[in-house]
């Protein structure tokens, strides 16, 4: 069982250079990425057990990389802290293709080398509102030099398995060398048979068994914190 000691908003940053303002104090960072309206901000609030991130029913609400510092007890010895980074969603942007490209650029700049800035920005510039990230435009090797994040959580909607945009995002993270885990949100919206079928489809499509969670019911939160602790611990090993 995890005890949340504190959770606070730290900063927001937009694409440009190396996302000036993102903490670089050595504390592990876990990025949260996924399609627009998949529930990243809602899940972050559920993890923190308090309202730290703004949420909206309208997709494309998160426009920046929003950073939160969370201090917890449990899942590892003693009290420990981690940054959770809420990245803009892909797959939709009010303002069309140009706006979608800007949102993708935030995510790409975040995952790219802090020293080199936004590597492989061509792929971000060609992201469309309907397609999200394009793994066809692989990042340059420079992007692998200094990964900013200790790991990432790729959030996918459990109700809609097998989407090309989610598969592309998984390939994109793999191409960047990011250690990520798949998290299936909104699992409470499915019946038992639908849950089993959709989770199997997600595993087949994305190459790993997803962690099923429900922010509304709190299902899977301890298991998700265990995953976050493992990613953070591995990064410091």
* CA gap 112, 171 in Å, rounded: 15
Contact 61, 69 (CB under 8 A): no
SS (H, E, C) 40-70: HHHHHHHHHCCCCCCCCCCCCCCCCEEEEEE
Q: What is the pLDDT of residue 74?
A: 87
User: CB atoms < 10 A from the CB of 207, how many?
Assistant: 12
If we measure between CA atoms, which residue out of 176, 172, 154, 159 comes closest to residue 43? 154
CATH of residue 35: 3.40.50.300
Q: What is the pLDDT of residue 13?
A: 82
From residue 152, alpha-carbon distances to 21, 49, 96, 185, 190 in Å are 19, 20, 26, 15, 25
How many domains, the chain? Answer: 1
Q: What is the pLDDT of residue 182?
A: 98
Q: What is the dihedral of CA 93, 137, 232, 201, to 10 degrees?
A: 70
Per-residue pLDDT of the chain (237 residues; tens, 9 = 90+): 889 999 999 998 876 555 777 888 889 999 999 988 899 999 999 999 999 987 755 444 456 889 999 999 988 888 999 999 998 887 654 444 544 455 567 777 788 743 333 333 333 333 333 344 443 344 444 433 344 678 999 999 999 998 988 998 898 888 888 899 999 999 999 999 999 999 999 999 999 999 999 999 999 999 999 999 999 987 655
Q: What is the pLDDT of residue 159?
A: 97
Tokens 């529930």 found at: 39
Q: What is the pLDDT of residue 134?
A: 45
The domain of 7 spans: 3-236
User: How are beta strands 79-86 and 65-73 bridged, if at all?
Assistant: antiparallel
For 10, phi then psi, to 5°, come to: -110, -55
**pTM listed for this prediction:** 0.81
Q: Please report the sign of the dihedral spanned by the C-alpha atoms of residue 53, residue 57, residue 62, residue 63.
A: negative
Could you give the 3-state DSSP secondary structure of residue 35?
Answer: strand
Q: What is the pLDDT of residue 175?
A: 85
């Amino acid at each position: 069982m995890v005890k949340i000691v504190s959770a606070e908003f730290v900063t927001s940053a937009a694409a440009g250079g190396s996302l000036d303002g993102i903490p670089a104090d050595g504390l592990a960072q876990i990025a949260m990425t996924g399609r627009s309206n998949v529930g990243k901000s809602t899940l972050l609030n559920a993890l923190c057990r308090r309202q730290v991130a703004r949420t909206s029913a309208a997709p494309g609400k998160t426009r920046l990389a929003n950073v939160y510092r969370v201090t917890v007890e449990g899942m590892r010895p003693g009290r420990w802290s981690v940054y959770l980074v809420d990245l803009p969603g892909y797959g939709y942007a009010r303002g069309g293709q140009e706006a979608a490209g800007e949102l993708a650029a935030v995510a790409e700049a975040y995952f790219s080398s802090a020293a080199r800035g936004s590597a492989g920005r061509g792929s971000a510039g060609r992201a469309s509102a309907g397609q999200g990230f394009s793994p066809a435009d692989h990042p340059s090797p420079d992007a692998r030099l200094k990964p900013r994040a200790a790991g990432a959580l790729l959030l996918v909607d459990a109700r809609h398995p097998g989407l090309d945009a989610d598969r592309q995002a998984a390939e994109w993270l793999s191409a960047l060398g990011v250690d990520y885990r798949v998290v299936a949100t909104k699992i409470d919206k499915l019946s038992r048979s639908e849950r089993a079928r959709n989770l199997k489809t997600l595993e087949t499509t994305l190459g790993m068994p997803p962690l099923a969670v429900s922010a509304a019911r709190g299902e899977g939160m301890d298991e998700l914190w265990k995953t976050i602790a493992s990613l953070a611990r591995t990064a410091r090993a």
